[in-house]
Structure 1
C-alpha cells in the first residue's frame, strides 16, 4: 500500500499539465480534448427503475488534434454552473495522430453525473484515451433520483457494458477504438461498478446485515438518499411492496457482471465494501488499482477501500492524505462553495486541483501499463 506525502501533492499542483504529459506512454503526446454526447437505446429500457429516460445519455471525451481550438466551459445546469470544467472542442473530429485509441468506460458516484468527473476524463482524453461516461438512470443529478436507481447498484454494470456496445458501434468513434485496449474507471459507487465489470460479485444480504448491525456506518446512509423523489420516498419497503422487476433484479444481485472486454479497472474511493465477501473477487483476474482519500468519512476507509483491498491482495492501493470523498469531484466555482459546502469544501491544507493532478497521473500511468500500445 502506498501513501502520498503532502509535499508531493503540492508539487503536482504546480505542474498538473506536466504530470499528465509525463505519465503518458512513449506513443502518446499531449492532445486537445474533444467532447460529444450520445444517447444510446439498449434493448432493455431503463425506465423500469422509475427513471424518466429509457436511454443511456452518455458524455464522451476523446483526443483531438492540437490545431483544434478548445472553448472554456463550466459544468452544471444551464445558467446554474457548479464546477470548473476543462476546456474542450465540441463535436470536433477525432485526432489523426494515431489510427486507433484505447477506450475507457467511466462510472460516476451516487446521484452524480459523468460531467462531475470531467477533471479525470479530460486528463485521460488529453493523453490519448476515449472516455465514455453515462448518467446512470434513476441515480443521476441530471434527473430525479428513484429508489430502484438508487438501490439496485449491480444494474449499473449493465449500463456500462451497453455503453461499450454503443461506442463500439458508433460510426465516428467505433472504427478507431482498439478493442484489445478497453478499461474502466469509476468513483464511489462508480468504483463499485467497475469492480463488478472486473468480475466482482455482490453479497446483498451481507450488506443489509451490516447496515442493521451496531457496526453500521455512513455508507448505509448516503446523504443523496434524501433526494429520492419517486412515490416510495425514503421510507423502508418490505419485499412484498417491491415491483416484479425490482424483485427480479434483487434475485440476480449476486450474478457476475464481468465484461470480458474490460482489461483493467481503476476505482477511486470505491464504495459498498461490505457488499463483498471472501468469495466476491474469485473471478477477478485483470489488474485493479484502488485510490482513496485518508479523510474519507462518506465511504469510510476501513469498511470500503481497506476492506476491498484485504479481499483483493493483488490490487494496487494508494491513499491520499487529507483528501475526503468529495475531493474527487470537479473543483467548485467560487460562488457556490458556501451553498454546497458538503461537496465543495476540503479539509485544511487540501488543494483539490493538486489531488486531481495526482489521481489523473496515477490513472494514466496505470492504464499505460495495463493497456499498452501494440
Structure 2
C-alpha cells in the first residue's frame, strides 16, 4: 500500500545549500502577531489545566510597509528559539478583503510559539494562522495527567478556537470561511487528522504498546515531567475516555498538513481510509520520537490520496524553531542537529511544501474568492 505514497524529498548537501538561498523569496507581506484568549460558553473538558481558556497566538499578513521587530522565544533573559521578525498588534493587510485561515496545533508539552518559523512564513504569504496552546499539555503552564491522556480533546480546542476566530471583531470579517485548513506537528499532527475525520482506537494502541514493536510514542519523553497522582481520574476525564473513539471531524476544515505526526497506531485504520479532504504529510528520516514506520508511513498506507515527503536526516526536533546560538549547548536535545543537517534548510523545504499544498487545496479550490478590498485601518 505504501506505493500509493510519494516519498518526495531526499536531500543532498548541494540541495541543502540551494534551498536555503531562496528562503522567504516569495514573501508578499510583513508579519503581524497578537494573542486572543477564547473562553467557550459551553461546559468542556479543561484537562485539569490552570487556565480554563484557549490562549491562542495569531500570525497574520500585515502591509509591506509595516515596521517589524526581531524577537526571540523562550524564558525572559534565556531565549531558546529565534523568532521571525513581526509587528505586535499591527493592522491586518488591506490589499485583500479576506484571507484563508490555518489552525495550528503544537506537539506534546510544547507551545504554538515553537512553530513560529512555519506560522510566520505562512502569514507572510497571505494566511491567518491561529495556534492554540492546548490545555494541560503546553509549555506555558504546569502539565497535567489529563493533558497527556485525553488526546482527542485537543481537536475540540481547535474547533472552539475556530469559533472564536470567526466571531472575533477584527479577524472574523477578514477570514474566508470557505478556505480553512489546519497544520499540526507531532501530537498536533494526530490532532488535525482527527479534525479531518480520523478516529482514535485506544484498544488498538494499547495492544500495540504491549507488543514487541512498541515505539517511543508509547512513552513520550515529556511524560517524565508528567505529574504523578494517586487519586483516580476525575468524572469529566472518565466521561472523555468513553468518547475517545468519537468523530471530531470539523467540516469547516478543508485540508490538513501534518509534520512528523505521532500516535499513528492510535488512529483507527478504517476512519483514515474514509478521509475525503486533501492531506499532506512531511517528516524526517531520523525521527526517533515518532518513528516513521509506525507513524507517518503507517498513516499514509490508509490515506489513498495523501502525498508523503521525507526529509533526509531530519529529526523530530528539526521541526521546532531554529535555536539561538547559546541554546545549542544548553538545550542540545532540542537544538543540536547531526553533521550535514541544516535546520533552516529543512524548514524551507517544509514551508515550500505547505505553501504549495495549501495553494492547490485551499486557494485554487472552487468556492468564493477573496476580492480586493478598500483600505481599512483596524488593528487587532
The residue correspondences of 1:249-260 to structure 2 (distance < 5 A) are 249-260=240-251
| CA distance, structure 2, for counterparts of residue 123 and residue 284 of structure 1 | 27
> Is 1:15 aligned with 2:22?
yes
| Number of aligned residue pairs | 358
Q: In structure 2, what is the equivalent of residue 142 of structure 1?
A: 140
| CA distance, structure 2, for counterparts of residue 365 and residue 244 of structure 1 | 45
Q: How far did residue 345 of structure 1 move?
A: 1.0
Note closer, same or farther for the CA distance 1:150–1:44 as it changes in structure 2 (3 Å cut): farther
| CA distance, structure 1, for counterparts of residue 269 and residue 132 of structure 2 | 30
| CA distance, structure 1, for counterparts of residue 271 and residue 76 of structure 2 | 42
Q: Which moved more, 1:83-92 or 1:143-152?
A: 143-152
The residue correspondences of 1:55-204 to structure 2 (distance < 5 A) are 55-204=53-202
Note closer, same or farther for the CA distance 1:164–1:344 as it changes in structure 2 (3 Å cut): same
Q: How far did residue 43 of structure 1 move?
A: 2.6
Contact 2:55 2:132 in 1 (8 A): yes
| CA distance, structure 2, for counterparts of residue 321 and residue 126 of structure 1 | 26
Q: In structure 1, what is the equivalent of residue 39 of structure 2?
A: 41
Q: How far did residue 121 of structure 1 move?
A: 0.1
| CA distance, structure 2, for counterparts of residue 254 and residue 46 of structure 1 | 17
| CA distance, structure 2, for counterparts of residue 288 and residue 133 of structure 1 | 19
| CA distance, structure 1, for counterparts of residue 42 and residue 274 of structure 2 | 26
Q: How far did residue 80 of structure 1 move?
A: 2.3
Q: In structure 1, what is the equivalent of residue 263 of structure 2?
A: 272
The partner residue of 2:221 within 220, 223, 234 is: 223
| CA distance, structure 2, for counterparts of residue 184 and residue 103 of structure 1 | 8
Q: How far did residue 3 of structure 1 move?
A: 2.7
**TM-score normalised by the chain length of structure 2:** 0.92
| CA distance, structure 2, for counterparts of residue 278 and residue 90 of structure 1 | 43
Contact 2:273 2:304 in 1 (8 A): no
| CA distance, structure 2, for counterparts of residue 40 and residue 9 of structure 1 | 40
Q: State the secondary structure of the residue aligned to 2:351.
A: helix
Task: List alignment gaps of at least 5 residues for structure 2.
Answer: 1-5, 370-380
Q: How far did residue 47 of structure 1 move?
A: 6.8
Deviations 1:65-121 (Å, cap 9, x if unpaired)?
Answer: 011100110011222211000000000000001111000000000000000000000
Q: In structure 2, what is the equivalent of residue 26 of structure 1?
A: none
Question: Which 4+ stretches in 1 moved above 2 angstroms?
Answer: 3-10, 43-48, 77-80, 229-232
Note closer, same or farther for the CA distance 1:204–1:258 as it changes in structure 2 (3 Å cut): same
Q: How far did residue 218 of structure 1 move?
A: 1.0
The residue correspondences of 1:226-305 to structure 2 (distance < 5 A) are 226-229=224-227, 231-232=229-230, 241-305=232-296
Task: List alignment gaps of at least 5 residues for structure 1.
Answer: 22-28
Q: How far did residue 231 of structure 1 move?
A: 3.3
Contact 1:46 1:54 in 2 (8 A): no
| CA distance, structure 1, for counterparts of residue 42 and residue 241 of structure 2 | 17
**TM-score normalised by the chain length of structure 1:** 0.93
Q: In structure 1, what is the equivalent of residue 9 of structure 2?
A: 3
Contact 1:9 1:358 in 2 (8 A): no
| CA distance, structure 2, for counterparts of residue 270 and residue 363 of structure 1 | 15
Q: Note the aligned Cα RMSD (angstroms).
A: 1.4
| CA distance, structure 1, for counterparts of residue 92 and residue 336 of structure 2 | 36
Q: How far did residue 215 of structure 1 move?
A: 1.5
Q: In structure 2, what is the equivalent of residue 213 of structure 1?
A: 211
Q: How far did residue 298 of structure 1 move?
A: 0.6
Note closer, same or farther for the CA distance 1:48–1:267 as it changes in structure 2 (3 Å cut): closer
| CA distance, structure 1, for counterparts of residue 171 and residue 342 of structure 2 | 35
Contact 1:45 1:54 in 2 (8 A): no
